[in-house]
Amino acid sequence: MFDRTELRYLEHALQTLERGFAGLPDFQAGLETASLQALLQTVAERMQDNFPYPHPLYAGQMLKPPHPVARLAYMLSMYINPNNHALDGGRASSAMEKEAVAGIASMFGYKSHLGHLCASGTIANLEALWVARHAQPRPQVLASEQAHYTHARMCEVLQMPFRAVGVDEAGRMDMNALEALLKQEAVGTVVATLGSTALGAVDPLHEILRLRERYGFRVHVDAAYGGYYTLVDNLGGAARAAFDAMPRADSIVVDPHKHGLQPYGCGCVLLRDPAEGRFYKHESPYTYFTSSELHLGEISLECSRPGAAAVALWATQQLLPLQPGGEFARSLETCRRAALALRQQLANGRAYLAGPVPELDIVVWSMAAANRSRASRLAQQVFTAAAGRQLHLALLQVPDRLASAWWPGLNGEPTAVTALRSCLMKPEHSEWLPRILELLAAASSEVQSA
């Protein structure tokens, strides 16, 4: 599962890095080799207590292994350990961050931008909402019921009122419900989720932007999960229209540590208007004196940040450019095809009740049963039985309204249904789909015959 030949490339690159400091007097940090080797063995043994996230049979949560070039570039950078707060802490890595972020902004169609990397989508969304709080006099924030919980939480931190908007039968923000709230309340910001973390649902950004023309709110796009899907050519019509509208959003968040093949944590926040950098303005008596160029700490709420994350992202984008039709885009297209194929196979089987057609690469399904309580119980049991066969899935609580729309034949109290969920984030999932279905069938058969 782990390819160790790549470590040879790291050795050669490290020699090149070291030559850049050849003018310094020789210095070696003291290292007790035997103790280090023993400790690393202990670490390796402790780390065995994990699910096999890099393997194609891990098809549960949204965990995608970093690309080898990201892993190697990150490790190489750690020999320097740059800090991308100020240029004197990370000159090369700051330049690489600016280039990498510019590449992401270009992918989304931004002709101008201000942006940077950060620890996660949570921090990126916090920054976007913080800027919105300064740029938009009306503090009220709306996001869909299927939006990530970070928005409600960050609004609490920022003391901005938050309301959840109802969703349609596909889990997307309901435009009628949104406009009803816009008519009733002074809304400052609407968050459009392009790829919800539960369903992979894509809010109709193009329709939200039409409402912006009438009601004058700010539009923030949370594309932490789904953003890179803007590159693919096999989206459905509604999702394609939403992604095509991204250049008109006021701010965008994406997580390179999800589909962008990066190690955790690597989030990215983009502002369409560079003038909004004025909200970050602050003074530091000892930080920003080495260069008149922009220091990334001057446009970030975070202070110290790992330059290694920027180096890894830059290297990955050099190897796999963010271009429609390119190798990176084709790998995402493969993931979506796998999700569509899995959903079709589930719909064809009598043991399952398929959920909505996936807009990205997340598939949801219920176990076929006479009522909701039995379907939920079977899902829990299949989840455990599949894990015993090394097939790792996920569970999802589907709210009553969506469960009623998707599976009207499930009788019982109007409660949530525990369903099975799979994130087919790895292109390898496509070729492993027969094996995944075989193991799922075996687990389902075991549970139903018990």
Residue 302 sits at φ, ψ, to 5 deg, of -75, 155
Residue among 356, 318, 360 nearest 336 (CA): 360
Please tell me the total count of domains within the chain.
2
Least confident stretch, 42-46, 59-63, 87-91: 87-91
Confidence bin at 27 (pLDDT 50/70/90): confident
Given 319, 340, 372, the domain boundary residue is: 319
Percent with pLDDT over 70 in the chain: 97
Q: Is residue 194 part of a domain?
A: yes
Are 128 and 153 found together in one domain?
A: yes
pLDDT beyond 90 at 183: yes
Same-domain status, 265 and 377: no
- Mean residue pLDDT of the chain comes to 94
Q: Is the pLDDT of residue 290 over 90?
A: no
* CB 204 within 8 Å of CB 241: yes
Distance separating alpha carbons of residues 65 and 218, to the nearest angstrom: 35
SS3 361: coil
**Is a pLDDT exceeding 80 seen at residue 32?**
no
Q: Do 268 and 357 have their domain in common?
A: no
Q: Which of 359, 365, 355 is nearest to 420 (CA)?
A: 365
Domain presence at residue 33: no
The confidence band for 31, taking pLDDT boundaries of 50, 70 and 90, is: confident
CA distance linking residue 417 with residue 353, whole number of Å: 12
Residues 107 and 198 in one domain: yes
Q: What is the pLDDT of residue 295?
A: 76
Alpha-carbon distance of 420 to 424, in angstroms, equals 13
Domain containing residue 348: 327-449
Q: Is residue 2 part of a domain?
A: no
pLDDT bucket at 443, cuts 50 / 70 / 90: very high
The single-letter code of the amino acid at 78 is: M
Q: Please give the helix or strand (H or E) that residue 170 lies within, else none.
A: none
216 with 196, same domain: the answer is yes
- Using pLDDT thresholds of 50, 70 and 90, give the confidence band for residue 4: confident
Q: 203 with 194: CB under 8 angstroms?
A: yes
- The rounded Cα 173 to chain-centroid distance in angstroms is 19
The pTM for the full model equals 0.95
DSSP structure string for 118-141? ES-HHHHHHHHHHHHHHH-S--EE
Which tens digit of pLDDT belongs to each residue from 353-398? 999 999 999 999 999 999 999 999 999 999 999 999 999 999 999 9
**Predicted local confidence at residue 1, as pLDDT:** 77
SS3 content of the chain, % helix, strand, coil (to 5): 45, 15, 40
Statement to judge: residues 286 and 343 lie in one domain:
no
How many residues can be counted in the chain? 450
> What's 378's domain CATH number?
3.90.1150.170
Tell me, what's the pLDDT at 19?
93
- Pick the last residue of a domain from 319, 351, 367: 319
Residue 342 lies in a domain: yes
**Contacts of residue 214, Cβ cutoff 8 Å, sequence gap at least 6:** 182
157: domain CATH number is 3.40.640.10
